[in-house]
Amino acid sequence: MPQVVIEHLSKVFKIGDSQFTAVHDANMTMEKGDFISIMGHSGSGKTTLLSILGGVLNPSTGHIYVDGQDVYSMGDSGLADYRASKIGFVFQFSSLVPVLTAKENLLLPTIFSPNRNGGREKRALEYLELVGLADRANSRPFQLSGGQRRRVAIARAIMNRPELLLADEPTGDLDEETEAEVMEFFDRINRDMGITFVLVTHDRILAEKAKRRFRMHAGKLSDVSQDTGRVAAARTV
C-alpha cells in the first residue's frame, strides 16, 4: 500500500462574489522513501497543495490518505497530532526563534509531539552534528550565517522523526554554493533516514534532482518524470 494517496483533491478560495480554484482534481501516490519535486510558477497552486498535505489547510473536495488514514477525517486534535508526529516543514525562510539558541530551536517542536520520549537533547545535538553545526549548538540565529540558519531549520524539521518532510522553496534566498549544501542534506536525510521528501520549487534544475517529478500549472498537477527523463537522455546524445 502506498504511504500517501492524494485522491481527487481540490481547493477553492472564495473572494467576494467570485472564486479561485488553486488546486484542481489533483491525484498522486507516494511510496515510503520517495523523493518528489513539484515545480511550477508562482500562483500555480503548489504551495496550496503542500499546505493541504501538511494538514494546515482543509481541502474543498477530495481526500489525502497517509498510512491508510484519511487525514481530514481526524478532527482538530487528530490533525494536530498528525502535524506534530508525521510532518516536518522547511520553509523559504528559516523562521528560527531569535531569542533561542540553535539547540533550543530544535527542542521547540518536541514540546508539541504526542510521542515525548526521552533523549531529546541528545538527539538535538546529533542532528546539529548531521548538518555540520555541532559546534554552534549554543549560538543564537543572529550569530549564524544564512546558510547555517537554514541548516538549523532542516535539523529542527526532523526533530520529531517525521514520516514526511515538506520543503517549500527552501533554497530561494541562498547562494549557489549554500543551495548545493542544503540539497545534499536533503538527499542524505531522504536516503539515510528513509523520510519521504516533497520539494516545492520554481527552479527546474533543483526539481530535476528528485527521483519523481511533478508540475503544477493553473492548479492542475501532472507527472513529468518520464518527460524529464527523455530530455536528459536527449542531452547525452
Element (H, E) at 81: helix 75-86
pLDDT band at 174 (very low <50, low <70, confident <90, very high): confident
154: left (phi over 0), alpha (psi -120 to 50) or beta: alpha
**Mapping DSSP to helix (H, G, I), strand (E, B) and coil, where does residue 147 land?**
helix
Written as one letter, the residue type at 70 is D
Quote the Cα angle for 121-122-125, to 5°. 90
Which residues are bridge partners to 15 per DSSP? 18
Of 123, 177, 126, give the one whose Cα is nearest residue 150: 177
**Grid coordinates of 60:** 474543498
**Residue at 187: amino acid letter:** D
- The per-residue pLDDT for 219 is 95
Kindly give the pairing relationship between strand 4-15 and strand 61-66: antiparallel
Q: What is the CATH number of domain 4-236?
A: 3.40.50.300
Number of Cβ within a 10 Å radius of residue 236: 5
pLDDT in tens, 108-135: 988 877 665 568 899 999 999 988 899 9
* Structure-block grid coordinates of residue 104: 533550543
Nearest of 87, 133, 93, 134 to residue 112 by alpha carbon: 87
Tell me the H-state helices in 87-216: 102-107, 120-130, 146-157, 176-193, 204-207
Least confident of 86-90, 152-156, 189-193, 226-230: 226-230
* Beta strand 69-70 pairing with 61-66: antiparallel
Element (H, E) at 23: strand 18-30
CA angle in degrees (0–180, nearest 5) for 191-197-203: 110
Query: Which residue from 2, 39, 5, 9 is spatially nearest to 24, judged by alpha carbons?
Result: 9
C-alpha grid cell, residue 190: 531522504
- pTM (2 decimals)? 0.87
Q: Is the pLDDT of residue 232 over 70?
A: no
pLDDT at 116: 57
Question: Which residues on neighbouring strands pair with residue 61, listed in sequence order?
Answer: 10
Give me the pLDDT at residue 114, please.
60
